[in-house]
Amino acid sequence: MATDLAPMWGIGLGVLLSVLVGLEREYYAKAAGMRTYSLVGMGSAVFTAISKWGFQDVLYNNPTGFDGGRVAAQVVTGIGFLGAGLIFVRRDSVRGLTSAAGIWFVAAVGMAAGAGMYALSACVTALYLVVMVGIRPISARMPHARATSQQLDITYADGRGILRDIMETLSGMGAKVVDLQVLRSDEVDGRKWQTIHLEMAGPQQVLAEVQPELARLDGVSNVAGDCSAVTRESRRKKK
**pLDDT for 66-87, tens place per residue?**
666 677 777 777 777 777 776 6
Please tell me the distance from the alpha carbon of residue 73 to that of residue 64, in angstroms, as a whole number.
Answer: 19
Q: What are the tens digits of pLDDT across the range 147-175?
A: 577 889 999 988 888 888 898 888 888 88
* Structural contact between residues 129 and 28, judged by C-beta atoms closer than 8 angstroms: no
Weakest mean pLDDT among 67-71, 109-113, 185-189: 67-71
Note the pLDDT of residue 4.
Answer: 59
Place 65 in a pLDDT band, splitting at 50, 70 and 90.
Answer: low
| Burial category of 172 from C-beta neighbours within 10 Å (exposed 0-12, middle 13-18, buried 19 and up) | exposed
Domain spans of the chain?
Answer: 2-141, 145-238
What's the mean pLDDT in 14-40? Answer: 78
What's the mean pLDDT in 116-130? Answer: 86
For the cut 70, the answer to whether the pLDDT of residue 60 exceeds it is no
| Burial category of 183 from C-beta neighbours within 10 Å (exposed 0-12, middle 13-18, buried 19 and up) | exposed
**How far lies 15's CA from each of 121, 143, 216, in Å?**
11, 38, 55
Note the pLDDT of residue 66.
Answer: 61
For the cut 60, the answer to whether the pLDDT of residue 236 exceeds it is no
* Structural contact between residues 183 and 197, judged by C-beta atoms closer than 8 angstroms: yes
Q: Does domain 145-238 have CATH number 3.30.70.1150?
A: yes
- Antiparallel, parallel or unpaired: β 220-224 and 176-188: unpaired
For the cut 70, the answer to whether the pLDDT of residue 94 exceeds it is no
Place 63 in a pLDDT band, splitting at 50, 70 and 90.
Answer: low
